[in-house]
Amino acid sequence: MPELPEVEVVRRGLAEHVLDRTITEVRVDHPRAVRRHAAGGEDFAARLKGRTITAVSRRGKYLWLEIGEDEAVIAHLGMSGQMLVADAERPVEKHLRIRFSFADAGPELRFVDQRTFGGLSIHPLVDGVPEPVAHIGRDPMDPLFDLDAAVAGMRRRRTELKRALLDQTIVSGIGNIYADEALWRARLHGLRPTEKLTRRQGVAVLEAASEVMVEALAQGGTSFDALYVNVNGASGYFDRSLNVYGQGDRACRRCGTPIVREPFMNRSSYSCPRCQPRPRPRASRVF
């Protein structure tokens, strides 16, 4: 599941393999992959023909290819999206949705997406970011990321800490996996109410999120060959270094207590019941 580190791996791969190349043809094989492009698949393809990719950028989990000064192709990977660089002769993937050919006759770019939560679309750039990205907060790897402002943003909310971490308008790039990992590192439970979060706790959990994503990027960035811009969503980080995510019943690496899995928003949260004690239930006012 691509979160910030995985998307950054893809961005780097694309910067290496498609930057400065001119598109000659785009084929859209599945309409759902361009559903966010309001004018439709034919318009999407027509508008890219002859354009040159001038930059490959990212904010949080959003990735985009700039085509000149004022337009960009957003690529959101959703749950299962991949951007693959492949020789045209290579057999097509089962879930191939969109393919780009280039004027230099080099390898093509393929957008492959099994679950079709992802997609591509063209938008004007506004203050340097595509329109649909305007409401997304800066991520912790952004040089202009403002830690104190992000902490203040979380504390202003009246919700639970993990929900705030997943809110892409406050801090972007954090998904379910890195949220759980950051909470474990900061020794905080995701159910803690944000209005009672201290500044110090807020700083601790965001710094932990930043650290874990930097470490994941360092591992994930090492594993793709020249013609395959990886990306299974699985940076090498997945199995080896996760402390809580997916580790139900395994011993906590700090204290040995079995990690517990709890339902959370139709999915799961993992935490150490000893290192990350649940908040006390709110004193009941009724009665």
Partner DNA sequence: CCGAAAACCTGAACGC
Partner DNA sequence: TGCGTTCAGGTTTTCG
Residues in binding site for DNA: 95, 115, 157
Q: 80 or 219: whose CB is closer to DNA?
A: 80
Q: What is the DSSP string of the chain?
A: ---HHHHHHHHHHHHHHTTTPBEEEEEE--GGGGTTSTT-HHHHHHHHTT-B--EEEEETTEEEEE-SSSEEEEEE-TTTEEEEEE-TTSPPPTTEEEEEEETT---EEEEEESS---EEEEEEEETTEEGGGTTSPPPTTSTT--HHHHHHHHHHS-SBHHHHHH-TTTS-S--HHHHHHHHHHHT--TTSBGGG--HHHHHHHHHHHHHHHHHHHHHHTT---TT----SS--THHHHH-SSTT-TTSBPTTT-PBPEEEEETTEEEEE-TTTSPPPPPPPP---
* Residue 32: active-site member: no
117 counts as binding DNA under rule CB under 7 A? yes
265 counts as binding DNA under rule CB under 7 A? yes
* Residue 108: active-site member: no
Exactly one of 106, 132, 221, 273 binds DNA (CB under 7 A); which one?
A: 132
115 counts as binding DNA under rule CB under 7 A? yes
Residue indicated by tokens 């002769």: 89
Exactly one of 37, 51, 58, 76 binds DNA (CB under 7 A); which one?
A: 76
Which entry of 94, 267, 280, 282 is annotated as an active-site residue?
267
280 counts as binding DNA under rule CB under 7 A? no
152 counts as binding DNA under rule CB under 7 A? no
Q: 49 or 115: whose CB is closer to DNA?
A: 115
Token couple for 128: 């340097």
Instruction: Tell me, rounded to whole angstroms, the distance of Cα 167 from its chain centroid.
Output: 12
Exactly one of 15, 19, 55, 79 binds DNA (CB under 7 A); which one?
A: 79
24 counts as binding DNA under rule CB under 7 A? no
Q: Which stretch binds DNA (CB under 7 A): 73-81, 144-152, 181-189, 214-222?
A: 73-81
> Taking the complex as a whole, how short is the minimal distance between the CB of residue 28 and DNA, in angstroms?
15
166 counts as binding DNA under rule CB under 7 A? yes
Which entry of 61, 138, 162, 192 is annotated as an active-site residue?
61
149 counts as binding DNA under rule CB under 7 A? no
Residues of this chain that interact with DNA (CB under 7 A) are 1-3, 32, 60-62, 76, 78-80, 94-95, 114-117, 132, 157-160, 163, 166, 168, 175-177, 245, 261, 265-268
